[in-house]
Amino acid sequence: MKSYAKTLNLHRFIFVLSINLFMLSTVNAQAPLDPQLIPFQSGFSNAVAVRNANDGSNRMFVVEQGGRIRIIKNGSTLATPFLNIDPLTNGGGEQGLLGLAFHPDYATNGFFFVNYTNNSGDTVIARYTVSAADPDVADPNSRLNIISIDQDFSNHNGGDLHFSPADGYLYIGMGDGGSGSDPCNRGQTKSPGSLDNTGPCAADSNFTGNEDSRALLGSMIRIDVNNPGANVSNACGEGLNYGIPADNPFSGVSTDCGEIWAWGLRNPFRFGFDRDTGDLFIGDVGQNTREEVDFQPATSTGGENYGWVCREGFIQTPGQGCTAAGAVDPIIDYPTGGSPFTCSVIGGVPYRGPETTWQGTYIYGDFCSGLLYWSEQVGGVWSGFATLADAGSSIRGFGEDEAGNLFYVTSNSVVQISDANFDDDIIFINGFED
């Protein structure tokens, strides 16, 4: 039995889920996929993400919201967690251990980063190191806090984090601080001097970091974890264990937070990079009207305002009379509600695995409907919103293995998305080689 082996052996039988491809809306392009959903591994508890370490080991790491990171190795889930920070986090509702990113040089330095809400409900980005004795177990005493961000309420924490393949910096998606309709106006605030600090928007008395950090809410932040202390004169976090890239759009601007790369976001729960181009795709969860996917090309110099709370998708947010000057429209929006009921976009990534006809197709999903969606770029325009398959369960995140094969996670399982007409990208099912 081999881990992640690829084969063209057509004589072995594999069980796959047969999916009927149908469309929710009319688009000009033809569906590039004949999809099958292949059960990969199950038995997890409130899984929210799946990652690879890009270290040649072909292991997959599954993030559980309660505070554990589990390893899938050689077709089995290891009994001992890679990391367990359960005592540090409150893993209920929208809180808990929410994100994982391996350093681009993980194979040599052993660094990885986690995004979680602590027991006071505030966001913490921390770095850990793999243990010297066992590559399947992290050193729990290696913890280094990178940045903490004060949260207003218990929801809209964002939670995803990724290193950009284009520039090597760490990107962190921050929600607007929660409640409904962004009562503290965090989405349209990038200056500590403009912070609403009244009533429920006042700083948390339990927060020990920089209260200016609330200006980072509703933003995509971009930091340099390799050069701590660099360019931090206008940092809104602690500014000790990270640096601010000099080319961040607000770096050195005394009135604004230098960490901010883009703003005007409601809850970018899941985002991802095109591993080939470095383009950024942000799934921003809507409120009552629209779900949206925002796009930032790798050539961007940052500073995009995606419009929340004034805009939701392509429209003015109902009940909001504000204007976000120069707001950037999403590349995709679709209605919240309806039948099947949609409620929370789960951002994915463009496919970059071995199947040639799928290349560059953006695959994403919805938490409530359990539907997988796809879109492709034709003549510089994204084709829109179309259904790929019904996952039959709430989708909570996407990930890739080292070869670019694509997976999604439900609360208790990891599932591979494959082409029914292409066998070479099928890995294994329930631990058995294809």
Domain boundary among 306, 336, 366: 336
Percent of the chain with pLDDT over 90: 83
pLDDT at position 299 is 98
How many domains is the chain partitioned into structurally?
A: 2
For residue 35, pLDDT over 70 is answered with: yes
3-state secondary structure of 213: helix
Taking the C-alpha atoms of residue 53 and residue 136, their distance in angstroms, rounded to an integer, is 11
pLDDT at position 17 is 33
Taking the C-alpha atoms of residue 162 and residue 221, their distance in angstroms, rounded to an integer, is 11
For residue 432, pLDDT over 90 is answered with: no
Kindly state the average pLDDT of the residues 254-275.
98
Distances from the Cα of 32 to the Cα of 21, 192, 366, angstroms? 11, 46, 20
Taking the C-alpha atoms of residue 189 and residue 211, their distance in angstroms, rounded to an integer, is 14
Taking the C-alpha atoms of residue 118 and residue 148, their distance in angstroms, rounded to an integer, is 9
Whether residue 269 sits in one domain with residue 369: no
Domain boundary among 336, 368, 385: 336
Distances from the Cα of 48 to the Cα of 57, 183, 190, 409, angstroms? 22, 27, 28, 6
Give 275-291 pLDDT, tens digit per residue: 999 999 999 999 999 99
Kindly state the average pLDDT of the residues 122-142.
97
Tell me which residue of 282, 275, 177, 164 sits closest to 220, measured CA to CA.
282
Whether residue 228 sits in one domain with residue 211: yes
Whether residue 287 sits in one domain with residue 419: no
Domain boundary among 298, 320, 336: 336
For residue 1, pLDDT over 60 is answered with: no
Whether residue 426 sits in one domain with residue 290: no
Whether residue 322 sits in one domain with residue 354: no
Q: Higher-confidence residue: 3 or 374?
A: 374
pLDDT at position 6 is 29
Whether residue 214 sits in one domain with residue 83: yes
Whether residue 80 sits in one domain with residue 28: no
423 confidence band (pLDDT: 50, 70, 90): low
Give 194-209 pLDDT, tens digit per residue: 999 999 999 888 888 8
Domain containing 241: what range? 38-336
Instruction: Return the DSSP state at 184.
Output: T
Instruction: Provide the whole-model pTM.
Output: 0.91
User: DSSP string of 109-147?
Assistant: H-EEEEEEEBTTS-EEEEEEEE-SS-TTSEEEEEEEEEE
Whether residue 312 sits in one domain with residue 380: no
pLDDT at position 5 is 31
Whether residue 69 sits in one domain with residue 24: no
Q: Which residues pair with 263 in a beta bridge?
A: 219, 305
Kindly state the average pLDDT of the residues 372-397.
94
407 confidence band (pLDDT: 50, 70, 90): very high
pLDDT at position 25 is 36
Whether residue 129 sits in one domain with residue 245: yes
Give 331-357 pLDDT, tens digit per residue: 999 999 999 999 999 999 999 999 888
Percent of the chain with pLDDT over 70: 89
Q: Higher-confidence residue: 385 or 109?
A: 109
Q: Which residues contact 229 (CB under 8 A, 6 or more apart)?
A: 239, 240, 243
Taking the C-alpha atoms of residue 99 and residue 158, their distance in angstroms, rounded to an integer, is 9
Whether residue 371 sits in one domain with residue 296: no
Report the CATH number that the domain containing residue 217 is assigned in CATH: 2.120.10.30
Kindly state the average pLDDT of the residues 367-387.
93
Give 157-190 pLDDT, tens digit per residue: 999 999 999 999 999 999 999 999 999 999 999 9
pLDDT at position 419 is 82
Torsion of CA 248, 154, 286, 181, to 10 degrees: -90
Whether residue 46 sits in one domain with residue 6: no
